[in-house]
Structure 1
Amino acid sequence: MSQTVDRALRILSDLGGGPKTLDQLAGLLGVHKSTALRLLQTLESQGFARHDEQHRYRLGPRLFALAHQALDELDIRRLAAPHLAALNQKHGHTVHLAAYVAGTVVYIDKYEGRHPVRMHSRIGALAPAHCTAVGKVLLAGLSEPLRKGAVSRIGFERYTPNTITDLDAFEAELAQVAAQGYAQDRAEHEDYINCVAAPIRDAAGTVLAAVSVSVPEPVLTYSGVLALLPDLLSAAGAASAELGWSAPPPHHDQEN
C-alpha cells in the first residue's frame, strides 16, 4: 500500500473516533501540518471528509453512502429483524442494531419505542464508542490488536457526568463487558437514557453487531432496564443462531 493511501485511510480511521483538528491529525500521523492538509483537501474534494465552523474535521457524507451500500449487502439486518422486532413489540422500547464499520460504530437498524419520548438516533448515524452500550459491545468483541488501536483513537469526549473519560477505566469496562457478555450505558451518552446491549455473533463466535434496548429514565428506571436483559440476550442469541452460532455448553468444575 502506498504511503499516501495508508495515511489517507489512517485519517479516516482517526476521524471515526470523533472530530479532530488539523494539528491533532498531523500529530497522529506524525507528519507536518502541510502534508496532513493536502490529504484532507483531497478527502474533502471527494466527499470523504469535511470541516466545520470550529475548523475541526469530520467524516464526510460519501463515506456514509458507501457504508450504506456495504451494509445493504449484509444479511445481518434481514436475519436479525424478526427477533429485534419481537423484542420491540414485547416491551415497546427502542431497539437498535449497530455494527463497527470502517473504524466507527454505526446504527444499521432501529425500531422506535412506543412511548412519546423519542431518541435522536437514526439509521446511518454514528454512535460514540466509549459511552454507548452498543459501542462497548462492539469494541469488546474486537481482537486485542484491533481493540487497542480503536481505543487509542477515542477522544473520550464527556457527554454527561457519567461518561467514562479515563483510558484505564474504559479498558476495565471493556474487560467486564467481554466477561459478562453484555454492556450497560447508565446515562453516559444522553443524561436521560439508560441502555443495555448484547453481541450478535457468527458461526465462529465473531461479534458482527450489537443489539440494544434504550429507555428514557422517565419511562423506566435503570434497574428496570437491567430487568430486560434476559429478553435482550435471548433476542441476540436467536439472531446469532441465524448466523450459525451456537452457545458453548456451560463449564462445570469437577471436584477431585
Structure 2
Amino acid sequence: MKSGRKSSSVDKAFELISAVSGSGQSGMTLGELAAHTGVAVSTAHRYAISLLELGVLERDATGAFRLGVTLITLAGRYLEEDGLRAAAQPYLAELVEISGETVHLGVPVGQHIVYVDKVESAKSVRLVSRIGSRVPLHCTAMGKAVLAFLDEPRRAEILAVRTEPRTPRSLTGDALLAELDTVRDQGFAIDDEENEEGVRCIGLPIMNASGRPVGAFSVSAPAGRFSVGDCHRLAPVALGMAADIGRRIGYAAPRAPRARKPA
C-alpha cells in the first residue's frame, strides 16, 4: 500500500546507484553521473560523498565510481536467506549436468527478470551473464514463462508498457499474446533468439503457495548447439524440476478432476 509520501533524495540516490551498477568495470566519473541523472555536478557530488561514506559506492584511483562493499554484503545476506534460491539450487546444478549448458534462476521485478543465481556450463564457449543483470520479460524464456502465468490484470499492466523488439525474432503485440497462450498450455517457454541473436533458451515458471509465478529458471546456450528440438526434449525433465521446486516453497498443484464412472 502506497503512503503517498516519497523522498526525492532517496529516489535520486538510488538513481545514482543504478547508473553506477550499469556502468560495468569502467565505473562512472562524477560528470557522467551528473549527466546521467540530470542534476548539477555539485548535487551529484553531495550524493556521491554520502554514498561513499556509507560504503555503497567506492572510488578508484582514476576518480571513477563503482559499487561498494556494503551493497555486496547486503546482497550476499539476501541471497543466503532467499528461500527460492535455496530450494532451486540443487535442481539448477542437476540441470547443468543433464543439459551440459548454463542455467539461470531469476525473479520478476517490474518489466524485467533479475538473475539471482547462475550455474555455469563446463563447455569452453559459454554465455556472458552475471547475477544482478536484468533482462526484459517479453522476449526471454524466463520472462515469458512468468508472464504466461500471471493473472490477467497484472499481465495487461506489464504489456501496456511499450515492448521494443530486441532482435528481428522478438515477438510483440498479438504474436506475443498468442505465444503466451502456447506457453501456458505447455508449461514452458522458448526464447528462440528473441533477446539475443545466436542464443536460445528454455524457461519454466516457479509457483509459490498462492499459485503465482515468483521466479523462473532457464537453460541457455549458443543456438548452434541447442536447437528448438533440444528444448522440447529437455522440457519433461525441467517441468518435473519446476514442480519439485514449487512444492519446496509451498506450491500445491491443483489436482485434475476425476473422471466420472459411466452410469
Tell me if TM exceeds 0.5: yes
Task: Give how far 1:86 is off.
Answer: 0.9
Mapping 1:158-197, distance limit 5 Å: 158-164=165-171, 166-197=172-203
What code does the residue aligned with 2:165 have? Answer: R
Residues matched between the structures, number: 215
Partners of 1:76 and 1:236 in 2: how far apart? 11
Partners of 2:196 and 2:258 in 1: how far apart? 40
What code does the residue aligned with 2:83 have? Answer: D
Mapping 1:237-252, distance limit 5 Å: 237-251=243-257
Is 1:98 aligned to residue 124 of structure 2? no
Q: Partner residue of 2:4?
A: 2
Q: Partner residue of 1:57?
A: none
Task: Give how far 1:70 is off.
Answer: 5.1
Partners of 2:163 and 2:131 in 1: how far apart? 23
Give 1 or 2 for the bigger CA radius of gyration. Answer: 2
Q: Are the equivalent residues in 2 in contact too, given 1:195–1:213 (CA < 8 A)?
A: yes
Mapping 1:33-182, distance limit 5 Å: 72-153=80-161, 155-164=162-171, 166-182=172-188
Alpha carbons of structure 1 residues 128 and 104: separation in structure 2 relative to 1, 3 Å: closer
CA RMSD, 1 decimal: 3.4
Q: Are the equivalent residues in 1 in contact too, given 2:206–2:246 (CA < 8 A)?
A: yes
What code does the residue aligned with 2:208 have? Answer: D
In structure 2, runs of 5+ residues without a counterpart are 23-37, 52-66
Q: Partner residue of 2:62?
A: none
Task: Give how far 1:67 is off.
Answer: 7.3
Partners of 2:155 and 2:92 in 1: how far apart? 27
Partners of 2:107 and 2:207 in 1: how far apart? 11
Alpha carbons of structure 1 residues 68 and 208: separation in structure 2 relative to 1, 3 Å: farther
Task: Give how far 1:68 is off.
Answer: 7.1
Partners of 2:166 and 2:108 in 1: how far apart? 21
Q: Partner of 2:197: helix, strand, or coil?
A: coil
Partners of 2:168 and 2:130 in 1: how far apart? 24
Task: Give how far 1:71 is off.
Answer: 5.1
Alpha carbons of structure 1 residues 68 and 100: separation in structure 2 relative to 1, 3 Å: farther
Q: Partner of 1:196: helix, strand, or coil?
A: strand
Task: Give how far 1:237 is off.
Answer: 1.3
Mapping 1:208-227, distance limit 5 Å: 208-227=214-233
Partners of 1:91 and 1:190 in 2: how far apart? 20
Q: Partner of 2:201: helix, strand, or coil?
A: strand
Partners of 2:192 and 2:236 in 1: how far apart? 18
Query: Of the two structures, which has the highest relative contact order with CA contacts closer than 8 Å and spacing of 6 or more?
Result: 1
- The share of aligned pairs that are identical, in percent, is 34
Alpha carbons of structure 1 residues 213 and 251: separation in structure 2 relative to 1, 3 Å: farther
Deviation per CA, 1:23-70: give whole Å up to 9, x if none.
Answer: xxxxxxxxxxxxxx78xx99xx588xxxxxxxxxxxxx79x9787765
What code does the residue aligned with 1:2 have? Answer: G
What code does the residue aligned with 2:126 have? Answer: R
Task: Give how far 1:4 is off.
Answer: 5.5
